[in-house]
Amino acid sequence: MTTLVEPEEHQALRKAVASFAKTHDGVDNRRMWQDAAKLGYIGVNLPEEYGGGGGGISELALVCEEMGAAGNPLLMMIVSPAICGTVISRFGTEQQKREWLPALADGSRLMAFGITEPDAGSNSHRITTTARRDGTDWLLTGRKVFVSGVDIADATLIVGRTEDARTGRLKPCLFIVPRDAEGFSRRKIDMELSAEEKQFELVLDDVRLPADALVGDEDAGLLQLFAGLNPERIMTAAFAIGMGRHALGRAVEYARERSVWGAPIGAHQAIAHPLAQAHIDLELARLMMQKAARLYDAGDDVGAGEAANMAKYAAGEACVKAVDQAVHTLGGNGLTREFGIARLITASRVARIAPVSREMILNYVSHQTLGLPKSY
Residue 167 clears pLDDT 70, i.e. is over it: no
Same domain, 152 and 242: no
Same domain, 320 and 260: yes
Packing angle, helices 221-257 and 301-330, rounded to 10: 30
Domain final residue pick, 76, 110, 144 = 110
Beta bridge pairs of residue 130: 141, 161
Domain final residue pick, 80, 110, 140 = 110
Mean pLDDT of 170-193: 92
pLDDT score recorded for residue 165: 53
Percent of the chain with pLDDT over 90: 82
Mean pLDDT of 69-92: 95
Residue 222 clears pLDDT 80, i.e. is over it: no
Burial 69-95 (b: 16+ CB within 10 A, else e): bbbbbbbbbbbbbbbbbbbbbebbeee
Q: Cα(16)–Cα(66) distance, rounded to whole angstroms?
A: 9
Domain final residue pick, 110, 125, 151 = 110
Same domain, 198 and 332: no
Q: Is residue 268 part of a domain?
A: yes
Mean pLDDT of 221-244: 90
Same domain, 255 and 180: no
Q: Is residue 376 part of a domain?
A: no
Q: Cα(363)–Cα(183) distance, rounded to whole angstroms?
A: 37
Q: Provide the pLDDT confidence category of residue 1 given band limits of 50, 70 and 90.
A: very low
Residue 116 clears pLDDT 50, i.e. is over it: yes
Same domain, 105 and 167: no
Q: Are strands 259-260 and 184-188 parallel, antiparallel or unpaired?
A: unpaired
Specify whether the CB–CB gap between 231 and 83 falls below 8 A: yes
Percent of the chain with pLDDT over 70: 94
Supply the CATH number for residue 212's domain. 2.40.110.10
Same domain, 238 and 359: yes
pLDDT score recorded for residue 218: 76
Mean pLDDT of 207-233: 86
Residue 165's CB: how many other CB atoms inside 10 A?
9
Supply the CATH number for residue 93's domain. 1.10.540.10
Residue 122 clears pLDDT 50, i.e. is over it: yes
Total number of domains constituting the chain: 3
Say which residue, 167 or 150, is predicted with more confidence: 150
Residue 27 clears pLDDT 70, i.e. is over it: no
Q: Provide the pLDDT confidence category of residue 124 given band limits of 50, 70 and 90.
A: low
Q: Cα(216)–Cα(93) distance, rounded to whole angstroms?
A: 6
Residue 254 clears pLDDT 60, i.e. is over it: yes
Same domain, 199 and 265: no
Q: Are strands 130-134 and 111-114 parallel, antiparallel or unpaired?
A: unpaired
DSSP string, 51-67: TS-S--HHHHHHHHHHH
Domain that holds residue 144: 113-219
Beta bridge pairs of residue 172: 161
Same domain, 104 and 158: no
- Backbone φ and ψ for 172, nearest 5 degrees, come out as -70, 145
> Mean pLDDT of all residues in the chain?
92
Same domain, 79 and 139: no
Supply the CATH number for residue 324's domain. 1.20.140.10
Task: For residue 254, give every residue at least 6 positions away whose Cβ sits within 8 Å of its Cβ, in sequence order, or none.
Answer: 265, 329, 330, 333, 339
pLDDT score recorded for residue 192: 86
Cα-Cα-Cα-Cα torsion 5, 10, 14, 17, nearest 10 degrees, comes to: -170
Mean pLDDT of 229-244: 97
Residue 210's CB: how many other CB atoms inside 10 A?
10
Mean pLDDT of 278-295: 98
Same domain, 105 and 121: no
Q: Is residue 254 part of a domain?
A: yes
Q: Is residue 2 part of a domain?
A: no
